[in-house]
Homo-oligomer: A and B are copies of this chain.
Amino acid sequence: MHSFQELIAQFEQQFSQWQFPGEPATLYEPAGYILGIGGKRIRPVLTLMGNELFDELHPDSFQVGNAIELFHNFSLIHDDIMDKAPLRRGMPTVHVKYNESTALLAGDVMLIYVYQFLNKVQQRYQQKLIAVFNKAAIEVCEGQQLDMDFEKKDPAQVQYADYVHMIGLKTSVLLASSLQLGAIIGGGSEGHQAHLYEFGKNIGIAFQIQDDYLDAFGDPEKFGKQVGGDILVNKKTFLLLKALEMCNGVQQQELRRLLTYTGHDKVDRTLQVFHDCKVDEWAQQEKERYTQQAFNHLEAIAVVSGRKKALLEVADFLLHRQH
């Protein structure tokens, strides 16, 4: 059994030894660039943990971890093109540093390399691994499309339940599947795999609620980026969509006015409405509810509790950070 930090170090050590081919450098250098600018490697480490929950670490978990980390970075490159994002992890995005065509193609070839890794695992569970991975990969694409569709809509037109569905696809299913893939390699039963998947999915949603909460109510000194950034760009968040549902008629009018308002006190006035309709309290409770659901699923997995230690560490890392 390894701790969260030990698994990060083990994964990073082997992943950093792998490289794309040298030629054509115009294709593979941009692909290597995004892998080199960091990232916490949370998803592949979840695969290692899913494996270790049931059995000793198997080399296949590293292959699958590499596949997941490549897929995650592929989706970042392409999302950044779609979102016209200038920065990623504080560095220029791939399409800004190189160009859009190269970023598009580097993402494509990275997605093919995902399956190079998935093609190295033992045959006895290969089809199952690819099936579970593909389901998540397809859902991530569907989530990105739904997110783009929502972007075009007025916030009042977006149903809160639809938003939870979208954010689950976009941010949680890959976390959930990363765990499940490890459980398959470790020999966990179908039932245990399902519980572990739900643990990951609920942690992912709790994380997203907290992310939205901190953007609005975080301590500026600890948060590290501008508090209220989501409010300034009218981003559809858990807080905004739920506030529109919870608040009374007067508050609703104020909130809708604030969406087109650009004055210097836009953030403060929006936070005041959030506070008045108690969506801040609701968010804390909702995060707690998803966290509790996650732990119930983890609880249902019948292995000695020592085996769950690393998973509790990663949940703590994701859910108790202030930045």
CA distance A112 to B142 in the complex (A): 12
Interface residues of A, count at CB 8 A: 34
Beyond A115-B130, A119-B131, whether A142 also contacts B27 by CB under 8 A is yes
| Number of copies of this protein chain within its complex | 2
A27: chain B residues at CB < 8 Å are 141-142, 145
A141 engages B112 (CB within 8 Å): yes
Q: How far is the CB of A107 from chain B (nearest CB, A)?
A: 8
A247: chain B residues at CB < 8 Å are none
Q: Is A46 an interface residue (CB 8 A)?
A: no
- State which residues 128-164 of A face B: CB under 8 Å: 130-131, 134, 137-138, 141-142, 144-146, 148-149
Q: Is A111 an interface residue (CB 8 A)?
A: yes
Q: How far is the CB of A239 from chain B (nearest CB, A)?
A: 24
A113 engages B138 (CB within 8 Å): yes
A104: chain B residues at CB < 8 Å are 78, 81-82, 104
Q: Is A108 an interface residue (CB 8 A)?
A: yes
Beyond A102-B148, A123-B127, whether A115 also contacts B113 by CB under 8 A is no
Q: Is A101 an interface residue (CB 8 A)?
A: yes
CA distance A85 to B322 in the complex (A): 47
